[in-house]
Chains A and B, each alone.
Chain A
Amino acid sequence: MYHTNSKREFSIKFQPQMQILRPSIHSRRANIIVKFQDLYGFAVEGNVDDVNILNEVREKVRQQGRVWWALEASKGANWYLLPQVSSLAEGIALKSSLKLSTLANAITLKRLIRKGIPPVLRPKVWFSLSGAAKKKSTVPESYYNDMTKAVEGKVTAATKQIDHDLPRTFPGHPWLDTQEGHAALRRVLVAYSFRDSDVGYCQGLNYVAALLLLVMKTEEDAFWMLAVLLENVLANDCYTNNLSGCHVEQRVFQDLLVKKCPRIAVHLEELEFDVSLVATEWFLCLFSKSLPSEVESPLFRTHFLSVAPTLSPSIMILMFSLTTNKFSIVPLLSRQLCGCGMSFSMRGQRFCFM
């Protein structure tokens, strides 16, 4: 299924002609660093172009919000949460529900999701369409509370590592980096470490869970989102003892890179650069560490809502954006590469990873 999806997204973003190098006035402007807070309270630093792009993204989200409200007015509140509609949108056809209107709603919903979910609706839509709601409904109401109470005060290798990482998860964030934020994040991570002892706690989950807390607003919903993510959405064993699922993802990603971005693949090969070295973080933190919320949450969304079976296509879209320079996230995406002094030279244009 994702082949057609990814093609469509690629065609929007991929332009065969490279843009010309920025003239000097732009490069001067590019050196002005602007600091601001993003949607979820993260401090973002970027040059003027980055800020302009993020503003464009925000404007699109606002426009998209208006589409959602209009549909809610005509189709009724929460129309997208009806089980028939949401399961169809997820690609599961319930035979009893194959009414034309339901089908139309499912198609509309899918299209809406791809274009973006307004921030206020994200908790509701993510929770329902990711399958987290279903997962939660299979256990008693008090599951999460009982769990956190039962594991209180227990010390394991996982809890030790979690305690070590709490202050190192988005330090400086106005809520996460407070006692309250640390305590909430700790409860979610510790509870999950006991729910799945194979995973326990893997560094990287701290960033994912923290972001889920910010989006979902409640600990319990964040916990269930984390559960559905690890148990149903991501490749198996992404975070278990030898990160084998993550290795599988890396291979898929490398194959896709060769197929879809052969020039980058060849260039990286010439440099003898193993892309998995930088991509590991992308797969394990789901970009929560490397992209601003405005860019990152659409990726989360596509992934959560089962539009793509592995993370690799989403990353490919990013790589495509990067090569076409259509979407100037290069500086944000590639901080890790800059120390390496890597540069891409494509079609005469030099892309520096700075």
Chain B
Amino acid sequence: MGAYRTDDDYDYLFKLVLIGDSGVGKSNLLSRFTRNEFSLESKSTIGVEFATRSIHVDDKVVKAQIWDTAGQERYRAITSAYYRGAVGALLVYDVTRHVTFENVERWLKELRDHTDSNIVIMLVGNKADLRHLRAVTTEDATAFAERENTFFMETSALESLNVENAFTEVLTQIYRVVSRKALEVGDDPAALPKGQTIAVGKDDVSAVKKVGCCSA
């Protein structure tokens, strides 16, 4: 019980969603990041599952609330509530099954239709440990990510490769966007005179956008 009470102490709470075809390893990425567990015997996810983990960015505690859902196409009909409020997404494909990479485009469209344009997206090629079975090259995926203005990483939930990095990178980018925005809006006009906001103003945010995600 204590686990989440101590967890309650955070500066930022960000909702991330995991999307991608069925069986690409979304649930294992989630369990690896939040509990450092991997299961070869994982159950297929039905509906939605959640997990949280807090990390430190600068001197702030950022709590990630990560949502995981079923990958089968017909489940997409339930997803408007799933995407609501999401500020980051990990779009996962399986490097050993090319079809899951082909579907990334559809997932991306779905994501952009349902979320804010500022959402930080990371394309994730999972199961990178299965080198002999690889069907999607790193170059193809990198090119795609560049074209679509998303981040990109190859991971292995099994070998715990890059999983931490992928999530941390997304959370850090969100944190950057949000903390800049807070400055820009200036909750307290007295403490943040208008002149000051210009320095970190819009150009800076759109610079993040260019790397981080699509522009509106």
Contact = CB atoms under 8 A, between A and B. Distances in A.
A207 interface: yes
B28 to A, nearest CB: 11
Contacts of A337: 50
A273 B111 CA distance: 20
Contacts of A279: 47
Nearest to A244: B77
A169 B22 CA distance: 14
B75 A203 contact: yes
Among A165, A204, A279, A339, max chain B CB count under 10 A is at A339
B55 to A, nearest CB: 15
A243 B79 CA distance: 12
B47 A278 contact: yes
Interface stretch (B37-45, B124-132, B205-213): B37-45
A284 B74 contact: no
B204 interface: no
B46 interface: yes
A277 B48 contact: yes
B44 A341 contact: no
A354 B4 contact: yes
A336 interface: yes
Interface residues of B, number: 32
Nearest to A273: B81
Nearest to A30: B1
Contact of B4 (A206, A277, A280, A341): A341
A274 B70 CA distance: 17
Contact of B46 (A274, A280, A338): A280
A281 interface: yes
B67 to A, nearest CB: 8
B48 A338 contact: no
Contacts of A281: 46-48
Contact of B44 (A165, A244, A339): A165
A246 B44 CA distance: 19
Among B8, B41, B66, max chain A CB count under 10 A is at B41
Contact of A280 (B40, B43, B44, B78): B78
A247 B7 contact: no
Interface in B1-53: 1, 3-4, 7-8, 22-23, 34, 39-44, 46-52
Contacts of B50: 336-340
B43 A171 contact: yes
Given A241-B74, A339-B34, A169 B43 contact: yes
Nearest to B63: A341
Nearest to A239: B74
Nearest to B42: A168
Nearest to A27: B1
Interface string A183-208: 00000000000000000001110110
Given A161-B72, A339-B65, A247 B77 contact: yes
A120 B151 CA distance: 56
A51 to B, nearest CB: 19
A318 interface: no
B46 A243 contact: no
A320 B19 CA distance: 33
A172 interface: yes
Contact of B41 (A27, A171, A241, A277): A171
Contacts of A203: 22, 44, 46, 70, 72, 75
B144 interface: no
B52 A339 contact: yes
A242 interface: yes
A127 interface: no
B46 A285 contact: yes
Contacts of B34: 339
The 9 lowest CB-CB distance pairs between A and B, nearest first, are A171-B41, A281-B47, A280-B47, A339-B50, A339-B51, A168-B44, A274-B81, A242-B77, A281-B46
Given A177-B41, A285-B46, 20 more contacts: A165-B22, A168-B42, A169-B43, A170-B43, A202-B74, A203-B46, A241-B74, A243-B74, A243-B78, A244-B77, A246-B78, A274-B84, A276-B81, A280-B47, A284-B46, A289-B43, A338-B50, A339-B34, A341-B8, A354-B3
13 contacts: A161-B72, A164-B44, A167-B41, A169-B43, A177-B41, A247-B78, A277-B82, A280-B78, A281-B47, A284-B47, A339-B51, A339-B65, A341-B52
Interface of B: 1, 3-4, 7-8, 22-23, 34, 39-44, 46-52, 65-66, 70, 72, 74-75, 77-78, 81-82, 84
